[in-house]
Chain A
Amino acid sequence: SAVISQKPSRDICQRGTSLTIQCQVDSQVTMMFWYRQQPGQSLTLIATANQGSEATYESGFVIDKFPISRPNLTFSTLTVSNMSPEDSSIYLCSVGTRQGSEQFFGPGTRLTVL
């Protein structure tokens, strides 16, 4: 399984500011995903990070609010823009090798917006 790291592990931010979360994988992977886990809730897919092209966003999530980059097969960033307290969540990246295969998750970034 891949080893996945995320930075920062946690942050406390003021409303109206932006935070960029990094996801680094120790090997090249085909698929990378970003999820949100709100307090006490399960995981919701935000978008699929596509290498060399724009990310594919799920219903309810837009690029202006959650811009994503994926410059290569081992790295991706998620930016949470113009934050409000409702954005307080754990943000997780995951990787997969092919459709129908298991995904492996990073440790998460715990974001609190005041």
Chain B
Amino acid sequence: EDQVTQSPEALRLQEGESSSLNCSYTVSGLRGLFWYRQDPGKGPEFLFTLYSAGEEKEKERLKATLTKKESFLHITAPKPEDSATYLCAVESSGTYKYIFGTGTRLKVLA
């Protein structure tokens, strides 16, 4: 059965304190792995798509990487405005459906 697990569930960082969020997945053939940011009361906002092991994508303070079993979202020198829930989803080959992880709630303190 396809499965996505995110860790940690919650993370508190001081402003400028870099860290990484983990997304582990088990799928029968990966078509794509997707990272989203969700602010309270809003829909998920698309961040990155990764397709194959070794791929990396960057946007401002965020960098996403992918291996055959997991993905990391690295946050460099975070700011309070980076506080949000970060969601990971996978789409397996043969389907068009996303399976979401439970997310990591990130709080960046000034």
Nearest residue, chain A, Cβ from B96: A99
Per-residue A-contact encoding for B33-46, CB less than 8 Å = 1, 0 else: 01010000111111
Q: Return chain A residues, CB-CB under 8 Å to B87.
A: 42-43
Question: B25: CB under 8 A from chain A?
Answer: no
Please give, as numbers and ranges, the residues of chain A lying within 8 Å of B31 by CB-CB distance: 99-100
A42-B101, A99-B31, A100-B51 known; A48+B43 contact, CB < 8 A: no
Q: Could you say which residues of chain A place their CB within 8 Å of the CB of B96?
A: 31, 48, 96, 99
In the assembled complex, A101 has its CB within 8 A of some CB on chain B: yes
B22 interface hit (Cβ, 8 Å): no
Q: Chain A 22-47, CB within 8 Å of chain B: the 1/0 string? A: 00000000010100000001111100
Q: Count of chain B residues with Cβ under 8 Å from any Cβ of A?
A: 22
- The answer to whether B46 touches A102, judged by C-beta atoms less than 8 angstroms apart, is yes
Residue ID in chain B nearest A103 by CB atoms: B98
How many chain A residues touch the partner (CB < 8 A)?
25
Closest A residue, CB atoms, query B88? A42
Summarize A's interface: helix, strand, loop or mixed: strand
Q: Across the interface, which residues of A come within 8 angstroms of B49, CB to CB? A: 101-102
**Closest residue of A by beta carbon distance from B47:** A102
- The 6 sampled A-B contact pairs (Cβ below 8 Å) are A41-B102, A43-B44, A48-B96, A102-B49, A103-B46, A105-B46
A83 within 8 A of B: no
Q: Are A107 and B91 neighbours in the complex by a CB distance under 8 Å?
A: no
Say yes or no: is A15 at the interface (Cβ < 8 Å to chain B): no
The answer to whether B97 touches A45, judged by C-beta atoms less than 8 angstroms apart, is yes
**Is the pair B43, A107 in contact by a Cβ cutoff of 8 Å?**
yes
CA–CA, A101 and B42, complex, Å: 21
8 new A-B contacts, CB < 8 A, other than A102-B34, A110-B41, are A41-B102, A45-B97, A100-B31, A100-B91, A103-B46, A105-B43, A106-B43, A107-B42
